[in-house]
Structure 1
Amino acid sequence: MSLGKQSKIVTDKQTEAMLAYLTRRRNGIRNRAVFLLSVKAGLRSKEIACLRWSMLVNPDGQLADAIHLTDDASKGQSGRVIPLNRNLKDALQGLYDRQRNAPGFDLASWFVVRSERSNRTSPQAVVNMFFRWYRDLGYVGCSSHSGRRTFITNAARRIGSVGGSLRDIQLMAGHRNLQTTQRYIEHDTECQRKVVNLV
């Protein structure tokens, strides 16, 4: 993937603006969760569309501290465990509380992202959601992959501070090789300027 073809990452300020925008719109609880699954867990559109509550809860039915993404919900055989960011967990908790009180709720089979007319949504519908949201806020160069790139970039920049490595990011991203993960990471010219003076 060449640098010119990559989706732009989303800044913290843009993330906050997007969350405020989604809160004011129809299906705000669901849409906030969708956006945060991208930007705070790095899920692909297909993975968001295929995510079931059974991948998010403990045996006692309470929301877990990690997403247990199965192979059938991921790209290829890239099922994985992704710890839940606290803001994402709060958003999912609100959505879970609403859905589990609905008639016919079944923990094993219910999809997290449902449409008003169907018990699930398609990966293309998720792609279209992101397209509309970014367009409405004027985020040029952003796509459904922007949240994933943002998550991988932010995690890579901070992983050393908690004793981790790029290998940990690779596992959370579900990439088979480290080079793929490295291509996702946005460079930071200011950091480059600072680090050369530390060498």
Structure 2
Amino acid sequence: MSRRQAKVVTDSMLRKMLSHSRKSSTPVRDQVIILLSCKAGLRACEIAGLEWSMILDPRGKIGNSMVVEDRIAKRQSGRRIPLHRDLRTALSQLRKLGPEDGPVIRSSRGGSMKPNSIVKEPFQAERMAQEFGGETYDILDRGKGSGWEKWRRKETPNKFARYG
């Protein structure tokens, strides 16, 4: 089975994605989704299952790291991940907008989102294709053999699957 060659998500592309997300009806939430994927390396199912209790420290503040619990991680392999400062800032903004318990990423109706919605919502392919010169990137495609897995093994730079 052949896989598409992964492409690098550069800093300028990340800035464009974040800029694009500011135009959505839920800009802070969408920015957090993008940063959770790009800066923390979370998969869509992990982003959908992430709860505030996994991010907050014992004092109830956003800590320096988050815990991805076994129950939401792929192959039940939980881990602790340091929080990038941009992600911490975005999480702080998001926390001010909604409940401080339960899912971090909520649908417009207030409930948790499904992984499929996490992938589709902030990255609407048609509009992003125009903005990125005809190519769109699914930064949440973390399949076996993807650029993401190679990056985690330190074989190549951080890459993400390209849809074109």
TM-score, normalized by length of structure 2? 0.80
RMSD of Structure 2 on Structure 1 (CA):
2.8
| SS, match of residue 95 in structure 1 | helix
- Distance, in Å, in 2 between the alignment partners of 1:146 and 1:12 is 18
1:18-167 matches, cutoff 5 A? 18-100=17-99, 105=100, 107=101, 110-132=102-124, 134-138=125-129, 139=132, 140-145=135-140
Paired residues in the alignment total: 153
Long gaps (5+) in structure 1: 157-169, 171-177, 187-199
* Identity rate, percent: 31
Deviation at 1:142, TM superposition (A): 1.3
Q: Is the 1:36–1:88 Cα contact (8 Å) retained in structure 2? A: yes
Deviation at 1:35, TM superposition (A): 0.5
- Distance, in Å, in 2 between the alignment partners of 1:25 and 1:99 is 17
Instruction: Find the structure with the greater CA-based Rg.
Output: 1
TM-score, normalized by length of structure 1? 0.67
Aligned partner of 2:155 among 171, 178, 182: 182
Change over 3 Å in CA distance of 1:94–1:150 after alignment to 2: farther
Moved runs in structure 1, 4+ residues, more than 4 A?
A: 146-153, 183-186
Q: Tell me which protein shows more strand as a share of its residues.
A: 2
Residue in structure 2 matched with residue 194 of structure 1 by the alignment: none
AA matched with 2:128:
L
